[in-house]
Amino acid sequence: MLRRCNIMQHVDVTAQNPRQPLTGADPAIAEHTAYGVAYRVRRSRRPSLSVRITPTGVEVRAPFWSSTSDIERLIYDRRDWIIKTSQATSARVRNWLHLVPGGQILWRGHPVPIALFLSKHDAAQFTDDACLIYSRTGCVPLDALEAELLRIARDTLPRRVRRMASLAGITVNEVAICEDSTAWGTCNLFKDVRLNRRLLLLPTELTDYVIAHELAHCIELNHSPRFWAQVARLDPLWRQRREELKRYSIMLTPFSVFAKAARPDGTKFGG
């Protein structure tokens, strides 16, 4: 299984000296700034602090009992990493997903321009070198965009899975496309493979790596050395692909988040 938690850019920090929950701690997200870094804090019953970079900024996930000084210490310790990763993520978002008329969207590993046409109905269509958007309002209809991705994924990805499985002599049961998921793909005990429609945005070789990963689970439902041997049989460059896939973890984020992250001047967070 390839989930977001395995590939999101984040750092977990085991909490030191746990204390009782702070009285009246608010679990809602709060905005803060420390050491020149603007960040949000989301509190929950988690056991440790973590920081991750999202399309909308820096987010710290904290236990209810953690203090402001605990969080600021984390920001201080990871400041260089946070700034470097934020800048890199911001650049990728600007280049890959600028969901406005005249913007661009990643398609099979390459940014293609978004051409918008006023229409009585919302629709989307991908060509080899463009994303054609038909809109009633003049804005990019995100639901129509997601629906077109789902249609194309259902039409193409299952065939790729079964072709690779046939060539490798692997038995696979049902192949389906996930409408909403935080994983690139999953495989269960019954050899059912589920793939994310966002795989269409990735370079072809990374999509094939995800397929190889899930097909290997049809033989080994774990991540043991035997499992990775099966992955290597399907994709000899799997180590390289696995590292490259990490760069695309933000593509699992709902399009609505990217749209909210856009500013009037066309830049994203950190831009």
Amino acid at 192: D
Helix (H, G, I), strand (E, B) or coil at 61: strand
Q: Smallest Cα–Cα separation from 197: which of 211, 212, 184, 215?
A: 184
Kindly report the backbone phi and psi dihedral angles of residue 217, in degrees, each rounded to the nearest multiple of 5, phi listed first. -70, -20
The per-residue pLDDT for 256 is: 82
E-assigned strand segments in the chain? 2-3, 10-13, 30-34, 37-44, 49-54, 57-63, 97-98, 104-107, 110-118, 123-126, 131-135, 175-178, 183-187, 193-196
Helix (H, G, I), strand (E, B) or coil at 12: strand
How many of the other CB atoms lie within 10 Å of CB of 60?
27
Could you write out the DSSP letters of every residue in 208-222?
Answer: HHHHHHHHHHTT-SS
Q: Smallest Cα–Cα separation from 56: which of 202, 246, 267?
A: 267
Longest dimension (CA), the chain: 61
The per-residue pLDDT for 261 is: 55
List the pLDDT tens digit at each of the 271 positions of the chain: 776 533 334 443 333 333 333 334 444 467 888 888 899 998 988 899 999 888 778 989 999 999 999 999 999 999 999 999 888 888 887 788 889 999 999 999 999 999 999 999 999 999 999 999 999 999 999 999 999 999 999 999 999 999 999 999 999 999 999 877 789 999 999 999 999 999 999 999 999 999 999 999 999 999 999 999 999 999 999 999 999 999 898 888 888 877 665 544 443 433 3
The CA-atom distances, in angstroms, between 130 and each of 92, 114, 117, 147 are: 18, 6, 13, 17
Task: Evaluate whether 150 touches 180 at the Cβ level (below 8 Å).
Answer: no
Element (H, E) at 231: helix 225-234
